[in-house]
Structure 1
Amino acid sequence: MPPSSRPRAMVIDGAWRGLGAGVAALSGPGGAPLTRTVKLIVLPLIVRPALHPELAEDFLGPEQAARLDALIRESGGRLEATARWFVLLKKVRRALGIVAGNPQDLYFQRCFELATEHGAPADGAEAVAKAVVEEVVDAAGGRTVAALKEHLADVGRRARIEAELAAAWDSRGSAPPADAAAAASAADEVLEARGGSDSPAYAAMVREALGSRFGRALWTDPGDVWGGGLPAHLGLTARPVPPRPGVGRGASTATLPAPLDRTLFERLFSVLQSSARRDELPSVPNLVARETGRSCAPLGLHDESLRVAVVVGARLAAGLDPLGGGEPERGRTAAHRAVNARWRREASALRARRMTVSPRPDPDGGVLDALARDLRAPWAAYMRRLWVRLHGWDVRGEPLPDSASAWAVLDGVARSVMMDHRARVRAALRALAEPAAEAVERRSA
């Protein structure tokens, strides 16, 4: 990385803060753009890396950074209008009593379209907003958490589904023991290629059903698969082995258990709550029927290519070492080197690394130390997010046909976990800085 380069995320952050209070509805408490703002609006609709490939890199030279800054600032008026439309759509949504789905996922890009077409909300805007909200609901076609809860409230239906879950769990069958060394070696070959088309290892893993065999091994005797004392499931379950799923009655995003410990309701809640493409999902009764079998399948997935992606992702996760200094045998592929190098350049990782070697206690009482601990054991967060993403693909019947598509998902999850940790560190630092700033103001008053 040349000395004059700057992280693209930092350039976006600086340009965004320069837009002022008009974009507050699209910003976090500290004024930075929300993660979904960057993902759904800034990158695809303003930066448009496909048209500006020079702005697609993680680190930008001075000329590229200036161009990116200018693109965002030039879009300031449209972004302010987007923020105002978003506030209006949320108001209309509340008035209509709609609670399903994440408003940012559902409305951010629609609000940008409204801002482009109409400018800021004016006379008649409420009718336009109501039409958009109702259109989004119609597109969901009854595929909502409320519809799921109503479907599973029927006593007779619940009893039947419980019986089907028990039968599916009891009839899982057996398979030859998973050869951990062979699976790890094949996964390493896939990770070394990093999505290149010259490695047949991924197709061979799918053909030999290594994902299914690994998933079945987690039901019986997981063993020491990855070395270094890491659990074979890497946080996919909080139990020694995954339990039989139940039907369930409710779910909360804040308290969802590990993926393989979730009830049928919790598994589908996650899909319905986070999906911006609910119109592509089966109806709720079909979702439930298919999920009954899926929840009792190896790794909780039907498609073998997605199960193999879990195994390859687990091999990558077991070698994640954001702080450096980990066991060298865990991170020997090109994928490990690339992902770990990217993470170690993060300021949040550098701060956490300093904390791990500092003899002084964490001055904030443990907030940042907890974040540092996450970096010492990053595999659980990675595997949890990877499984949720693959589960969504499985529900839609979308396999990962080759190593390139698998690597795109594996690398995308690594970037997502890294960005999430960065946001949490920044939020913690802002929270710590505010009392100090208030103390300074009191002393100077």
Structure 2
Amino acid sequence: MAPPSRSTGEQRPRALVIDGAWRALGPGLESLSGPGGAPLTRSVKLVVLPLVVRPAMRPELAVDFLGPAQVARLDGLIQEAGTRLAATAQWFTLLKKARRALGIVAGNPQDLYFQRCFELATEYGAPADGADVTARAVVEELAVTAGGRTVEALRNHLSDTVRRSRLDGELATAWENRAPVPVAEAAAAIRLAGEVLDTCGTPEAPVDSAGYAAMVGAGHGGLFGRALWAHTTGVWGTHDLPAHLGLTAGQLPPRPEVGSAASTATLPAPLDRSLFERLFAVLQSSARREELPTVTELVGREAGRSCAPLGLHDESLRVALVLGGRLAAGLDPLGTEEPAPGRTAAHRAVNSRWRREASVLRARRMTVSSHPDPDGGALDALAQDLRTPWATYMRRLWVRLHGRDVRDAPLDDLASAWEVLEGVARSVMMDHRARVRSALRHLAAARPNTSGPRSAS
């Protein structure tokens, strides 16, 4: 039964539009449909949305409720893809047959094969003579890459020339079709972020999930990210801070490339990374890779995610990044701007904890001294990190939110979001403490013994 609608004037739920357009295609889609003829959830999630609708390229179709023009556009896209969808269903039946013949039982066939079947339908059309040989080869290939979920499997997947060309074309089109919004949208999101953060950080301040939910519901994270696609300055209330707070090395992020190599030591800023580099970081840091989507699905989703606002799909994670940016812009571990306007309860909690760190107190003394680091510059470099704390904080926060996005793990309320925001601040703090201690040990070991041997009397 179709889900109930709600009062939205002339708007219609996107899910109902997809259902109706799918059914209108007629027979031939049985292997991609449920018993009642509706598209399977995975058919929508893995094929219709990312490969037919492509919301990253068409942001007007990325919302849950559509106006008449958007309804017509969505219906038209599905009708135009009807032949390919029917061929996808045929390829899926053929791949399942090959799977049974090979005795493969690991993994969900829909997760493993749906997107690859659409690729086959796009490249070859409906299965013809010799298609069973192709199907067997594909199943054997996916048995390796899906089970591996390794960097090597990712490299092998992206080494296919046809696939790389298709992905590059999709990235170029999605990037070209981005839709920036006025900078005022960014200012509104930052103001609301400040109000929400003022309810965090102290036991007596109730965590305001209502304000957080309102930001998520209104799409302020996506609007903020789209505003940053324009040349923007002064987003954080000062022109001293870059709009992206270190998420890109330039004023604007570049168009994502497919890529073929990565190194942990030389990964660029998050929004400057290639498709390969983004997923390399995920695979390298995942303790339980079996919980990740297959390599095929990882690549398909990341292509859209890399061109989405703030490089994230889920709106709650985008809002969390906006809150993190608002927090990061006011981090002042050295206490050089006290008192400062715009500080929230969250800022006061994090800054006060940071300023109690012995390593920070040492760095503060170096900052105000005329000869801050007589030992050769190692500690002064660490002090400099505390003068620009937002860079490390935002990079680490984005990586954590990106990992949640890959695993479909949204932040459902402000308490969960604050746990992440505060956890990243604590992580940066502890990392800085460890680096200061390491630098002090090295300096102590290198310092010569000036007392010398005692003379005999």
Q: Assess same fold via TM > 0.5.
A: yes
SS at structure 1 position matched to 2:254: coil
- Asked if structure 1 preserves the Cα contact closer than 8 Å seen for 2:246 and 2:395, the reply is yes
TM-score, normalised with respect to structure 2: 0.64
Runs of 4 or more above 6 Å deviation: none
Query: How many residues are treated as equivalent by the alignment?
Result: 307
CA distance in 2, matches of 1:396, 1:183: 26
1:154 aligns with 2:165: no
Counterpart pick for 2:415 among 390, 396, 404: 404
CA distance in 2, matches of 1:390, 1:157: 27
1:217 corresponds to which residue?
227
SS at structure 2 position matched to 1:237: coil
Q: CA, structure 1 residues 193+365, in 2 after alignment: closer, same or farther (shift >3 Å)?
A: same
Could you tell me which amino acid in structure 2 is paired with residue 148 of structure 1? L
- Asked if structure 2 preserves the Cα contact closer than 8 Å seen for 1:400 and 1:406, the reply is yes
1:316 corresponds to which residue?
327
1:346 aligns with 2:357: yes
1:307 corresponds to which residue?
318
2:196 corresponds to which residue?
190
Aligned-pair CA distance for 1:405? 0.6
- Asked if structure 2 preserves the Cα contact closer than 8 Å seen for 1:320 and 1:379, the reply is yes
Aligned-pair CA distance for 1:441? 9.0
Q: CA, structure 1 residues 329+221, in 2 after alignment: closer, same or farther (shift >3 Å)?
A: farther
- Asked if structure 1 preserves the Cα contact closer than 8 Å seen for 2:145 and 2:295, the reply is no
CA distance in 1, matches of 2:187, 2:338: 18
CA distance in 2, matches of 1:327, 1:254: 36
Counterpart pick for 2:424 among 413, 418, 422: 413
CA distance in 2, matches of 1:328, 1:179: 28
Aligned-pair CA distance for 1:190? 1.5
Could you tell me which amino acid in structure 2 is paired with residue 268 of structure 1? L
2:15 corresponds to which residue?
none
1:241 corresponds to which residue?
252
Quote the RMSD (CA, aligned, Å). 2.1
1:144 aligns with 2:150: yes
Could you tell me which amino acid in structure 2 is paired with residue 164 of structure 1? E
Of 194-203 and 277-286, more deviation after overlay is shown by 194-203
CA distance in 2, matches of 1:163, 1:312: 33
Could you tell me which amino acid in structure 2 is paired with residue 211 of structure 1? G
Aligned-pair CA distance for 1:395? 0.3
1:207 corresponds to which residue?
217
SS at structure 2 position matched to 1:219: coil
Aligned-pair CA distance for 1:272? 0.4
Q: CA, structure 1 residues 361+346, in 2 after alignment: closer, same or farther (shift >3 Å)?
A: closer
- Asked if structure 2 preserves the Cα contact closer than 8 Å seen for 1:294 and 1:302, the reply is yes
- Asked if structure 1 preserves the Cα contact closer than 8 Å seen for 2:313 and 2:405, the reply is yes
CA distance in 2, matches of 1:444, 1:147: 65
1:255 corresponds to which residue?
266
- Asked if structure 2 preserves the Cα contact closer than 8 Å seen for 1:264 and 1:292, the reply is yes
Aligned-pair CA distance for 1:194? 1.2
Q: CA, structure 1 residues 234+364, in 2 after alignment: closer, same or farther (shift >3 Å)?
A: same
1:64 corresponds to which residue?
none
2:290 corresponds to which residue?
279
1:423 aligns with 2:434: yes
Q: CA, structure 1 residues 242+444, in 2 after alignment: closer, same or farther (shift >3 Å)?
A: farther
**CA offsets 1:162-184 (integer angstroms, 9 cap, x no match):** 11111111222243544344222
CA distance in 1, matches of 2:453, 2:432: 34
Of 165-174 and 142-151, more deviation after overlay is shown by 165-174
Could you tell me which amino acid in structure 1 is paired with residue 188 of structure 2? A
1:383 aligns with 2:389: no
Which one has a bigger Cα radius of gyration? 2
Could you tell me which amino acid in structure 1 is paired with residue 411 of structure 2? L
Counterpart pick for 2:299 among 268, 288, 292: 288
SS at structure 1 position matched to 2:229: helix
Q: CA, structure 1 residues 365+197, in 2 after alignment: closer, same or farther (shift >3 Å)?
A: closer
Aligned-pair CA distance for 1:444? 7.0
CA distance in 2, matches of 1:412, 1:290: 27
1:368 corresponds to which residue?
379
Aligned-pair CA distance for 1:281? 0.5
CA distance in 2, matches of 1:382, 1:140: 33
List runs of 5+ in structure 2 lacking aligned partners: 1-143
CA distance in 2, matches of 1:257, 1:443: 51
SS at structure 1 position matched to 2:246: coil
Could you tell me which amino acid in structure 2 is paired with residue 191 of structure 1? L
SS at structure 2 position matched to 1:426: helix
- Asked if structure 2 preserves the Cα contact closer than 8 Å seen for 1:218 and 1:242, the reply is no
Aligned-pair CA distance for 1:329? 3.8
Q: CA, structure 1 residues 369+443, in 2 after alignment: closer, same or farther (shift >3 Å)?
A: farther
CA distance in 2, matches of 1:428, 1:243: 36
CA distance in 1, matches of 2:428, 2:183: 32
Could you tell me which amino acid in structure 2 is paired with residue 207 of structure 1? G
CA distance in 2, matches of 1:325, 1:435: 32
CA distance in 2, matches of 1:162, 1:181: 33
Q: CA, structure 1 residues 443+258, in 2 after alignment: closer, same or farther (shift >3 Å)?
A: farther
Q: CA, structure 1 residues 291+198, in 2 after alignment: closer, same or farther (shift >3 Å)?
A: closer
Q: CA, structure 1 residues 277+442, in 2 after alignment: closer, same or farther (shift >3 Å)?
A: farther
**CA offsets 1:334-373 (integer angstroms, 9 cap, x no match):** 1100100100010110000000011125212211111001
Aligned-pair CA distance for 1:232? 1.4
CA distance in 2, matches of 1:304, 1:330: 29
1:265 corresponds to which residue?
276
1:336 corresponds to which residue?
347
Counterpart pick for 1:439 among 431, 445, 449: 449
List runs of 5+ in structure 1 lacking aligned partners: 1-137
Could you tell me which amino acid in structure 2 is paired with residue 226 of structure 1? W
CA distance in 2, matches of 1:426, 1:361: 17
**CA offsets 1:272-314 (integer angstroms, 9 cap, x no match):** 0011121110011110010000000000000001000111000
Aligned-pair CA distance for 1:199? 4.7
